Structure 1
């Protein structure tokens, strides 16, 4: 494979047949199709395998092999696609506050993108998992912004920005970010930490997420949840490793790399009853 994503193969994966001009409409359609077609999942680090971030490996895994990945994999792939289409785009880093106390001091371990179109900057993220934005978000307003799913808002905090999502009647802080220049080496370092540290939840827990029509599907070990834009949700415990594998294939549309190894990992790590 080349050093760039095969756009024709990527568009077939998304079922995209639209314009290839660097417009806001193109960006919005590609982002929505990406997060609906390519699942968020951590099978690679969960199985103790290496997460490789070069473009050839990302295309092979997410496009060719029917897999998903986590933030670095999704956003590096999407960044390459945008650059090929002529967008002015670059990667940023964020500190994740989702499920953290607002006074926490988390490291900058999440990747997102900034895309400039006609002089306006848009936040784009295809890999936040349970609450990945499903449309581009404008930076120069703190007003709520509609997406195909929940409303989001981007708040300017002086030297940084905050991304928040509205769940029901409550605004929840997802992450904060700034415009520091980030290099591939920065993402490789953070990705290695997340995929190797013995207490990283990408190592200890099975995680998956996929956007559906008017809903979100999430999986944490054996707990499968369907979340709706109004903040309501339905959750149930899956009945053992076999049902977990079936849900990964049928709901999250992950082509399992090694079902037997995954079944063994679920049992050895004790994350499935």
Structure 2
């Protein structure tokens, strides 16, 4: 790998202290710790800051500055870490289906990873947001797989695969991807497109997941899912409320107020405040 990777800083950030052998056990532990510690967030695009995918920039932002990032940042960092640990990793572009009508034409706007271990391939994704995987899934069609309280299935979709999640006994499509490997240039081009959309539409998405539950912020709406507990939902009505949620619920070290506050106000203005 041409870009130097700071494994110690990454391990400290996610709280990892296990074996670094390129085994399934290592992958599972890293995959659980990463999304629990490093939130999905798109604050930089919303603020109009450029998203940089080189390893030094990713480490400065996600590790040293205690920030999060969106899919291209999260999965690029995870891919680089895994490759430095001698895992075999491939990156693919994915079409997001979650929240869109069945059969709707979707362009590639997401990034997923496939890791090969001892002859078996695993789908890995530490950066989807609402349903960021908390463990790798075997890339095996038509088999249900459970992660904590959530059940997933992977089905064949033409030349690729589709990921579904079961909610209230009903299957919902999450995303689909073809097995066309993406290099750094292709990933950067996808990232630039998504970055522009998030900025122009003032789309704020933040998510963090661990064994205690999932926490999702969409615009000014915070939703908390905990196993065995009724879903909690509330709405932020001010910039200060949004900042408190970002720092307390998502454990994000906030950017300077002179950049963040106007961006969060744009988010509030773009989505009318709703009553809980």
Do both share a fold (TM > 0.5)?
A: yes
Q: Which residue of 1 aligns with 2:71?
A: 71
Q: Could you say if the C-alpha distance between residues 77 and 253 of structure 1 is closer, same or farther in structure 2, counting changes exceeding 3 Å?
A: same
Q: Which residue is equivalent to 2:257? A: 259
Name the CA shift for 1:25/1:90 in 2 (closer, same or farther; >3 Å). same
**Alignment partner, residue 243 of structure 2:** 245
Q: Distance in 1 between matches of 2:266 and 2:99?
A: 26
Q: What's the CA shift for 1:222?
A: 1.5
Distance in 1, matches of 2:270 and 2:250, equals 18
Q: Show CA shifts across 1:239-260 (max 9, x none).
A: 3111110110011001011224
1:60 shift after superposition: 0.7
| Counterpart for residue 147 of structure 2 | 147
Q: Secondary structure, in 3 states, of the residue corresponding to 1:20?
A: coil
SS in structure 2 of the partner of residue 173 of structure 1:
strand
Partner in structure 1 of residue 27 of structure 2: 27
State whether residues 42 and 202 of structure 1, in contact with CA within 8 Å, keep that contact through their aligned partners in structure 2. no
Is the Cα–Cα contact under 8 Å of residues 114 and 121 in structure 1 kept in the other structure? yes
Q: 1:158 to 1:267 in 2, by over 3 A?
A: closer
| Range moving further from structure 2, 205-214 or 14-23 | 205-214
In the alignment, what sits opposite 2:202?
A: 204
Determine helix, strand or coil for the equivalent of 1:26.
helix
CA contact (8 A) 2:242 2:264 kept: no
Is residue 45–residue 199 contact of structure 2 (8 Å, CA) maintained in 1?
Answer: no
Write out aligned runs for 1:92-131 (5 A): 92-131=92-131
- Give 1:230 shift: 6.7
Aligned to 2:84: 84
Cα deviation, residue 57, structure 1: 0.5
Question: How much does 1:143 deviate?
Answer: 1.7
Structure 2: gaps spanning 5 or more residues: none
State the secondary structure of the residue aligned to 1:267. Answer: helix
Q: Specify every segment of 5 or more residues in structure 1 that has no aligned partner in the other structure, as ranges.
A: none
- Whole-Å Cα distance in 2 between the matches of residues 88 and 239 of structure 1? 46
SS at match of 2:31: helix
Q: CA deviation at 1:90?
A: 1.2
1:40 corresponds in structure 2 to: 40
Task: Report the Cα distance in structure 2 between the residues aligned to 1:159 and 1:231, rounded to whole angstroms.
Answer: 39
Runs of 4+ in 1 over 3 A off after TM superposition: 200-203, 228-232
Once residues 48 and 114 of structure 2 are traced to their aligned partners in structure 1, the CA distance between those partners, rounded to angstroms, is 31
Q: Matches of residues 173-212 of structure 1 in structure 2 within 5 Å? A: 173-197=173-197, 200=198, 203-212=201-210
Q: Which moved more, 1:63-72 or 1:149-158?
A: 149-158
Give the alignment's Cα RMSD to 1 decimal: 1.8
Query: TM-score with structure 2 length normalisation?
Result: 0.93
In 1, distance between residues paired with 2:173 and 2:199? Answer: 20
- Number of positions where the alignment pairs a residue of Structure 1 with one of Structure 2: 270
| CA distance, structure 1, for counterparts of residue 217 and residue 31 of structure 2 | 22
